[in-house]
Structure 1
Amino acid sequence: MTQINRAAIVGGSHGNELTGVYLVKKFQQYPNLVNRSTFETLVLLGNPKAIEKGRRYIDKDLNRCFTHQGLQNSLLSSYEDIRAKEIQQLLHPRNQPFVDVIIDLHSTTANMGLSLLLSNMHPLLLQLAAHLSSINPLVKVYFHQQLRGSGFLRSMCELGFVIEVGAVPQGVLDAELFRQTEQLVYAVLDYFERHNQGKISQKNSTLTLYQYTGVIDYPRNERGEIEAMIHPQLQFRDYEPLNPGEPLFLTFEGKDVFYDGVSTVYPIFINEAAYYEKGIAMHLTQKQLIHDY
């Protein structure tokens, strides 16, 4: 059995995602809320300078800086590269093993509700996801495989994952989403506590998983400028089916652009504000039922 000895809760890797920022500040002020008897819980703010400025980042996206190469490269001097090395040291103190769990708190302008983002299919993560979605039907589970050290904070340990909530504008707190995220964090910690105590009964439950298949960019002209918007019929319909031939974008001239795929997909991160600069209009997923984990 995988024993959880140390867990880390990180909020504010993006400085304008305030749900995680203020949850971490609350946990720092009231550590008993996240303390559990069988493991230590570390809470930290990911990007303090960006939080202070109310920006996503200062020089570059911190949540892409945790690559093996970048963390070992002493010549990288951007604020986020330096901060990534500091976080690595906090998560892996000298003469101690790396934390067993990373809970990375994020919010999105897309209508993702309460989402768990998994980077691997570790049985304990799948069991946790099945438990959380069984006690709260609002929880959705998104699987996007990432190799260890791929750049995302969650990829730094086998039991790393993201809690992503939305829709909420950047730089804004939504009280209901804050409350729901807080309760989800407690449910995660309680599950790991019971796991350590051997109190988890194995159930043959079915887990609904949305598996990453790719991304779609906005239509753009030769100068790289977008030429269309998310279609009104698609906006805020994260995790809902998109069928071939259904509207995808609406041009500024009012012309519909249709989805030309060959099978039904389930878009998520639809119209995420932070992804405009990354050339991403949405992620596409396939809906799967997982039985054996």
Structure 2
Amino acid sequence: MYSSMVPPSTMMGQLQEKIDTVSNNMANMDQTGFRRRESSFSDLLFQQIDNQQYGPAEDGGRLTPEGLRRGSGAAVAQTALRMDQGELQSTGRNLDFAITQPGYLFEVETEVEAGETEIAYTRDGSFHLSEDQLDDGWNIVTSTGDFVLDADGDRIVVPGDTQTVNLAPDGTLQAVYDDDDEETEDIAELELTYANRPQVLEAIGNNNFQLPDLEELGLEGEEILEEPVAATDDLVMQQGLEGSNVDMGSEMTELMNAQRLYSMNARAMQNSDQMMQLINNVR
């Protein structure tokens, strides 16, 4: 491939990745607790081409540069996960919980294969009672069916005769047995985990994240996630949900800029191809 085609062809592939990232953000704008991603670029290798030196006499009075740099374009250096706060919305539903501070995550148990589960993390606080009733009650699950875990790492069980569920200011989930909220029972402590290094977390679908292979990265779990804390009233709002942190205006601007750059590089390839055609037709 001719060197004039290398930078634009490289850039077109990388810009397509940025367009895909922006499109994914826009597609999930209405997803509860969705965290947007942002692509950043870095330069690829370049060549320094120096002009031929003939001697002091010939160099005197030279107006042209001593050489030029011929680059290979740029590549996506990182697709960073942005944890800024999303908009809070009141729902009036007791099993809706909105995290009100950036960086915190609910801990859930998700099924990766038949009969195999693992710990995952999410900002989606739209909880429900499990469809299949247990002998002694119901499990609290996410909108995708993942089990919400308590401070002990166990599935939260709600007694079968519970009228509603309340979240106490100290993060304790309480089962309410009457309409006057007088007869209650503490059933679990809802907890949150703070992500120190959210960029390391891996997205596994359904708005969930998991820890990567820490041995491969040479990291400890404490470097990525802090010790869980209680979901107190300064961290969680009951009867509310957090929207995504995607701003449609900003994403549209990013998409338009990426499309213009893609079009410019496509035109550069077309011009280079036309020049090669002219050269080949010279007799």
- Determine if the TM-score, normalized by the shorter chain, exceeds 0.5: no
Bigger-Rg structure (1/2): 2
Report which of the two has the higher share of strand. 2
Q: TM-score scaled by structure 1? A: 0.23
Q: TM-score scaled by structure 2? A: 0.24
